[in-house]
Structure 1
């Protein structure tokens, strides 16, 4: 034993009612943690393997004693359908007399919650109309129905009281000598040892091997692994998803019976099923031609078998695309493609082609022949002349003055069409220098006066 709460105190310094949390090693070899006061109340408290639901040493001892006294087979941990979602579990069943027996020690049946379960179980058994008896210790609350009171938790005492009750019910039950009872008790203990060392047949590892492979740690009972846990266990464990490696915590019953899984994978699965159910919004209904342009889906897990046509048209999942015309590859979400956006280089070339080719009769030479006569060269696109330029083009060109014939300047086609001409000739026409120069000189003269 090791004291976890107070490392300096051992069995010689701890009181039986101490609340210290200690680690213990059971007779079956399992390690577990329990409080001292709980272990002092019941020596069987603590070990998860020894406290497996359905059987106890007391039940096995009484089953061996009753089988020796009645000469009939006694079943342990019997299930009876009571109309509920889960079957009623009863400790013993005498098949010859068809009597169901429950053993209620005070340590497990004195609390309010246990009393409520006992009342509900007695009501169900009364409705079924079967022969049913409870053997209860003093200190347990009263319950309706047939009840036999036993003193200590000794199996031989419980057997003597139960055998007397069976004789009162006209059930043949012979008396056993002390040696015969000792042999039956020893056989029950050997069966209990074998039961402790053998994992349950309906364990999580046998029934759900895939879930057992994702179990990392048992937080409630660390000594209980997947081979010892049953699917209906309420133990809280740590799980790691085998697909996305996500780690989370939940109960065993939640995973095995309620079919819950990895939270991120579950959200992806629900999203995937929602996309499949909304057939009218799929890519296949809006743009089926996109299938030949998709290289691969980037934002979907590799193990997810999903096709592009099954995605929603407004999906933000990124896809690698390849242009069928220029073989250019780029990454874009599905919603961009279904809304009409395509290859950017091809779009630029199409827009440039529209700007380069004016409609018939709409070129600079057709609409403004006087301006076209002063054209010398296109500096942005040398191959384009006045017959291939639009009047509102932004190409920068070189022009010559028709008045002086010697001056050349550079400006855009749109500015030339609006009337911009040679700066030298404009100054000669007005008899004064350029507007910008005269204004600067006037501001300089005003500054000198002051």
Structure 2
């Protein structure tokens, strides 16, 4: 109001213009008569590392748009590094008369009216200006906080106007702010204007990338694991990290970690494995794989099996306990696997358990039928006579 009182010109506060290629810019003062835009740059809002770069870009955009634009900067701030700009200073404090005199220098330099005010005129102008300032900084009719209350937890700081929070910004405000994602496994921080959050509804970029990646991993109809490999799909217990997913939500070559259950009723082992390892390498239950590997190591070489070296004993084999599909050709004579045997002698019904090693000891006369085996000879001590 000091500028209006001293110049007699109309002055608009917080004038907004959308320049080509930029979002909406805010100018502190606009004088419609001379069509003049003025920005006031106090040190407390223009001493940040990127402030000079931002102020320079705004001045260049205003000149490119054909606007008449002047900056008055606090003493001590670096000048705008553009050859066609004139450097005006005020401050370094926030004395309104000091800043008004700097505006007067700008107007006088352009041949516009300006007069020195008497103390009563200064007091009246300051009171009116204070009332207008309170209206300018008051909370908008609909704030960004009211339009999007969920943003309160994610709001960190206002970079454009430090100290101004969501309650004092409109949903369409273009102030650059810092936000922090509240997801437990994220915590990402990023800088975007308020309107992109309150109006456009954009959220955390990292979480967005995760959702997009998850969506891309979902199969098209007819291409899922449940469609192309039903036997393996029947072994699926759970998709780790996605407990609500089924085999119809997985691509056969996905690298998603899953829990599987061995289909062998004698095993039933539940084990973790990535899906692409199961489909690419045809791997299955690790417990059964170890059993097969062990069985491969204990199988006899050609011509060295129990049936080859002890045909009579092999004919008495009924079952290999624990390996019901094995026969005498699958056993070494020295094997320690427990087996069931049946006596082959006519009229004998003897049955017993023993290992092949026990049967083949002492030249094939080891553990024999408990029914018809020859009795053990007793050893009597010699008697002595006195």
Query: TM (normalized to structure 2)?
Result: 0.55
- Which of the residues 300, 309, 313 maps onto 2:241? 300
State the match for 1:397 in structure 2.
341
1:74 aligns with 2:18: no
Name the CA distance, whole Å, in 2 between partners of 1:272 and 1:333.
19
Name the CA distance, whole Å, in 2 between partners of 1:272 and 1:141.
49
1:187 aligns with 2:128: yes
Residue range with higher mean Cα deviation, 175-184 or 129-138: 175-184
State the match for 2:364 in structure 1.
421
- Which of the residues 146, 152, 157 maps onto 1:212? 152
1:317 aligns with 2:257: yes
Name the CA distance, whole Å, in 1 between partners of 2:246 and 2:174.
32
- Which of the residues 66, 72, 81 maps onto 1:129? 66
Q: Contact 2:16 / 2:24 at 8 angstroms: preserved in 1? A: no
Name the CA distance, whole Å, in 1 between partners of 2:47 and 2:344.
113
Secondary structure, in 3 states, of the residue corresponding to 1:240? coil
1:144-182 superposed Cα distances (whole Å, 9 cap, x missing partner): 335656678543454466457547757688997765553
Q: Which runs of no fewer than 5 residues in structure 2 stay unpaired? A: 292-306, 332-336, 368-386
Name the CA distance, whole Å, in 2 between partners of 1:74 and 1:131.
15
Name the CA distance, whole Å, in 2 between partners of 1:322 and 1:410.
30
Name the CA distance, whole Å, in 1 between partners of 2:27 and 2:87.
15
Q: Contact 1:76 / 1:92 at 8 angstroms: preserved in 2? A: yes
Change (3 A) 1:283 1:145: same
Q: Which runs of no fewer than 5 residues in structure 1 stay unpaired? A: 1-60, 349-363, 425-450
Q: Contact 1:238 / 1:247 at 8 angstroms: preserved in 2? A: no
1:403-444 superposed Cα distances (whole Å, 9 cap, x missing partner): xx9xx99765799799953369xxxxxxxxxxxxxxxxxxxx
Aligned length: 325
- Which of the residues 76, 81, 99 maps onto 2:36? 99
Give 1:26-425 correspondences, 5 Å limit: 61=1, 65=5, 69-70=8-9, 72=10, 74-83=12-21, 85-105=22-42, 118-136=55-73, 144-145=84-85, 154-156=95-97, 158-159=99-100, 162=103, 166=107, 169=110, 179=120, 181-196=122-137, 198=139, 203=144, 205-206=145-146, 208-214=148-154, 226-227=166-167, 232-235=175-178, 239-241=181-183, 245-246=184-185, 248=187, 250-253=189-192, 261=204, 268-269=210-211, 271-273=213-215, 275-276=217-218, 283=225, 286-291=228-233, 294=236, 296-297=238-239, 299-301=240-242, 308-313=248-253, 315-319=255-259, 330-333=270-273, 335=275, 338=279, 339=282, 341=284, 371=312, 375=316, 378=318, 390-392=328-330, 395-397=339-341, 399=343, 420-422=363-365
Q: Contact 1:378 / 1:397 at 8 angstroms: preserved in 2? A: yes
Change (3 A) 1:313 1:74: same
Query: TM (normalized to structure 1)?
Result: 0.49
Name the CA distance, whole Å, in 1 between partners of 2:252 and 2:63.
58
Q: Contact 1:137 / 1:150 at 8 angstroms: preserved in 2? A: yes
Q: Contact 2:219 / 2:249 at 8 angstroms: preserved in 1? A: no
Name the CA distance, whole Å, in 2 between partners of 1:73 and 1:252.
33
Name the CA distance, whole Å, in 2 between partners of 1:282 and 1:324.
24
Q: Contact 1:368 / 1:417 at 8 angstroms: preserved in 2? A: no
Residue range with higher mean Cα deviation, 168-177 or 283-292: 168-177
State the match for 2:295 in structure 1.
none
Change (3 A) 1:324 1:310: same
